[in-house]
Each structure stands twice: as structure tokens, then as C-alpha cells.
């Protein structure tokens, strides 16, 4: 795994990759370098998903997951420079959303603006009880541009999303849980452990099967039921010829845990 200026990466167990946004001096704010680093990291994982079976994405420190775009860096940018930077962010969020490997966001603190959009780009979210969330872009004369207007309504519903985005109002982890934005609220000292426990369950399953299931859920969500069923069977038909499928059935009949190899 390459080293990155704004990210910390660490292997937890054999098949779990922990990624930390690492600009604590700036509340892990998203600058151009971080956008390039995330794009490079997830592009590499997308090209070779055998590198990990689950990813945990978090932030360094206890104060912030990611405070959003780095406004100090953006101060004084020309329109062209702003748009060039945003193109990197657009490519970055697509790389996260399109990652075939399951990605758990472990939100350890504030997730504002682009930080919340990064979390929304993950498959699901565990949040520290002290975490705070907001899409505050309209308070700056802009709007969410990394999937916020698309992913938030899919999580909390159209009316709630309109209220939150158009007002820029911050909300708590407990509210996020109540609105189905996050899957679990954890005590701060247990956040990583809880995320790791789930990551281990995912990593222990057939990796090709998990990736195919993620693909079917993600791309079938907005299809009609009939077309979604077609997509599902296409994904399913990738699995019968695999060694992992044979190992799973054999292990069941031999009353032992399967040893999946990802092929």
C-alpha cells in the first residue's frame, strides 16, 4: 500500500484496511492534496479489489471526521481554479462510491459539508455519540457538489433532506440514527472496535459473493423490481463457478468454518 501525505493507512487483521483522514491541524478538512490522495487510493483498490475485503474510513483525532472543504486553501481561488479542484473532488467521491470493496465510515467527530458527503459515499456509517453532521454549503453561497443532494435524500427521505440542506442545520448522532442516516451510534472509545467487529464479519464471508451482493444492491436500488431482479441474477451467476462457492458448501457439510480465498 502506497503512503499518502494526507491519509494514514493500516492493515487491521489480514484483510481489513483502515484509512484515516489525516489533517488534524485543520480538522481533517478536505484540501486538494487529500482529494488527490483519496482518488489515488480508491482508484487502486477499485483496480485490484483483492487488496482488502473491507475498509474502515475514519479521521485522526477525536474532534473531527472531516470538517468539509478547506476554505483557507480556497480563499482567493479563481473560478477556474475552484472548478479544477472540484473536478478532483467529483472523481474522488465517484471512486469511493464505486469501490467494490465494502466501506464502513466510522465517523469519530464532526462531519460537515464534504466530510458528510464522504461518509454518505460509504456503504454504511457508524458514528461516535459525539459526532455532529451538517451540509452547510448554502450558508457559503454554494451547494453540496459531491453527492450530498443525491445520497442524503436516499438515506433520510426527500423532505428531511430538503430541510437539512436548504437550512444548513447541524444535527446530532442520535438524530442521524433516528433518521436512518447512520446504522449505529457508539461510545467514542468503542467506535473503532464496533466497526472492526462488523468488518471482521464481512471479511470472513466469501469476498466475491460480498462484492457481487454490494453491486446488486447499489446498482439495483433505483431500478424497477423486474430490472433489479435481472441485475441480481447476473450478479448471482458469477458465483456458482467459483472455488469459494465450492468451499462454502463443502465446509457446511463438513461442519467447519470455510476458508475463502477470493476465487
Q: Provide the whole-model pTM.
A: 0.95
pLDDT at 154 (0 to 100): 96
The overall average pLDDT reported for the chain is 96
Fold adopted by 7-203? 2-enoyl-CoA Hydratase; Chain A, domain 1 (3.90.226)
3-state percent breakdown (helix, strand, coil) of the chain, nearest 5: 50, 15, 30
Pairing of strands 16-21, 7-12: antiparallel
Fold adopted by 207-253? Lyase 2-enoyl-coa Hydratase; Chain  A, domain 2 (1.10.12)
Active site residue 117: yes
Q: Domain boundaries in the chain?
A: 7-203, 207-253
Positive or negative torsion for Cα 34, 35, 40, 42? positive
pLDDT tens digits, 122-132: 999 999 999 99
Strand partners, 20: 8, 58
Catalytic residue from among 5, 73, 90, 117: 117
Q: Is 62 a residue whose pLDDT tops 90? A: no
Catalytic residue from among 62, 73, 90, 137: 137
Active site residue 137: yes
pLDDT at 14 (0 to 100): 85
Q: Is 99 a residue whose pLDDT tops 80? A: yes
Q: Is 253 a residue whose pLDDT tops 80? A: yes
Spell out the residues 6+ positions from residue 23 whose beta carbon is closer than 8 angstroms to its own: 6, 29, 31, 34, 60, 70
pLDDT at 1 (0 to 100): 61
Q: How far apart are alpha carbons 87 and 90 in whole angstroms?
A: 5
In this prediction, residues 58-63 reach a mean pLDDT of: 93
Q: Is 12 a residue whose pLDDT tops 70? A: yes
In this prediction, residues 66-95 reach a mean pLDDT of: 96
pLDDT tens digits, 180-232: 999 999 999 999 999 999 999 999 999 999 999 999 999 999 999 999 999 99
Spell out the residues 6+ positions from residue 73 whose beta carbon is closer than 8 angstroms to its own: 31, 32
In this prediction, residues 27-50 reach a mean pLDDT of: 97
pLDDT at 13 (0 to 100): 85
Amino acid at each position: 500500500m502506497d503512503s499518502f501525505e494526507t491519509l494514514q493507512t493500516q492493515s487491521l487483521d489480514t484483510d481489513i484496511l483502515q484509512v484515516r483522514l489525516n489533517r488534524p491541524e485543520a480538522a481533517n478538512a478536505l484540501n486538494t492534496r487529500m482529494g488527490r490522495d483519496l482518488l489515488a487510493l480508491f482508484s487502486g483498490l477499485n483496480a485490484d479489489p483483492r487488496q482488502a475485503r473491507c475498509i474502515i474510513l475514519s479521521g485522526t483525532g477525536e474532534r473531527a471526521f472531516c470538517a468539509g472543504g478547506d476554505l483557507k486553501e480556497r480563499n482567493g481561488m479563481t473560478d477556474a481554479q475552484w472548478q479544477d479542484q472540484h473536478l478532483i473532488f467529483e472523481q474522488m467521491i465517484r471512486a469511493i462510491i464505486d469501490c467494490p470493496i465494502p466501506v464502513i465510515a466510522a465517523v469519530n467527530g464532526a462531519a460537515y459539508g464534504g466530510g458528510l458527503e464522504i461518509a454518505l459515499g460509504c456503504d454504511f456509517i457508524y458514528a461516535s455519540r459525539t459526532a455532529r453532521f451538517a451540509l452547510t454549503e448554502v450558508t457559503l453561497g454554494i451547494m453540496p457538489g459531491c453527492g450530498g443532494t443525491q445520497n442524503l435524500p436516499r438515506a433520510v427521505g426527500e423532505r428531511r433532506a430538503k430541510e437539512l440542506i436548504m437550512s444548513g442545520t447541524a444535527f446530532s448522532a442520535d438524530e442521524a440514527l433516528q433518521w436512518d442516516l447512520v446504522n449505529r451510534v457508539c461510545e467514542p472509545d468503542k467506535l473503532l472496535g464496533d466497526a472492526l467487529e462488523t468488518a471482521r464479519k464481512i471479511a470472513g464471508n466469501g469476498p466475491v459473493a460480498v462484492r457481487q451482493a454490494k453491486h446488486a444492491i447499489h446498482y439495483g436500488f433505483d431500478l424497477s423490481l423486474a430490472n433489479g431482479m435481472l441485475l441480481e441474477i447476473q450478479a448471482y451467476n458469477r458465483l456458482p463457478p467459483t472455488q469459494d462457492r465450492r468451499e462454502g458448501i463443502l465446509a457446511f457439510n463438513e461442519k467447519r468454518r470455510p476458508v475463502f480465498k477470493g476465487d
